[in-house]
Copies of this chain bind each other. A is one copy, B any other.
């Protein structure tokens, strides 16, 4: 394989939740936030929050915590979210629709600029303000409105063919919700979402409680 491993994956996965809370606190008029507040909100240990935040390179103030605006910027920089990423979404079924309705993406710099499907009943309809386009128009649409990333929400069966087409159109980053590991050239990045992964984690927590251990904290 010879590919780099991304370190600190669980910490990275927590970053959007910190941002979500920081945006809310900012809206409520707060200027500073302590690790204790973030830890209580997320039901995790303060030391975990401190380690996560340290990854971003920010320095906190003793007894005060972090300046909220500054922490937002450090987290965004850490994730590469300073710039907007244009993405197309393929597959306007229930999962695709759920993603199109997810309101936080905008503040994370994710702009879903085109939505494709092959179903004649969906093409031309509008979902959360996004018009569904015919997948066969993708070459033309993506030429006029290039995007860096594709979100794959099609069926397991269709996912590889869709990915092949999009790789051919120059897309190098995939967020894959289909239940299949995509085969892509080595220069292409795939982030696969395994919906059952969370159920697996919950199951291990439930098992440890059945075995008489204390309930595990939220990840």
Q: Is the CB of B15 within 8 A of A200?
A: yes
Q: Is the CB of A43 within 8 A of B190?
A: yes
Q: Which residues of B contact A17 (CB under 8 A)?
A: 181, 192, 194, 197
Q: Which residues of B contact A44 (CB under 8 A)?
A: 1
Chain B residue nearest to A174 in the complex (CB): B202
**Interface membership of A95, Cβ < 8 A:** yes
> In whole Å, how far is A89's beta carbon from the nearest beta carbon of chain B?
12
Q: Please tell me the number of chain A residues within 8 Å of chain B, measured between CB atoms.
A: 76
> Which A residues form the contact surface with B (CB < 8 A)?
1-6, 9-10, 12-17, 20, 39, 41-45, 78-81, 85, 93-95, 97-99, 101-102, 104-105, 108, 110, 148-149, 173, 175, 179, 181, 186-210, 213-219
Known: A1-B44, A149-B202, A191-B205. 16 other contacts (CB 8 A): A2-B214, A3-B217, A4-B216, A6-B201, A6-B204, A6-B208, A12-B200, A13-B200, A14-B194, A16-B197, A42-B181, A79-B204, A94-B94, A175-B198, A189-B215, A189-B216
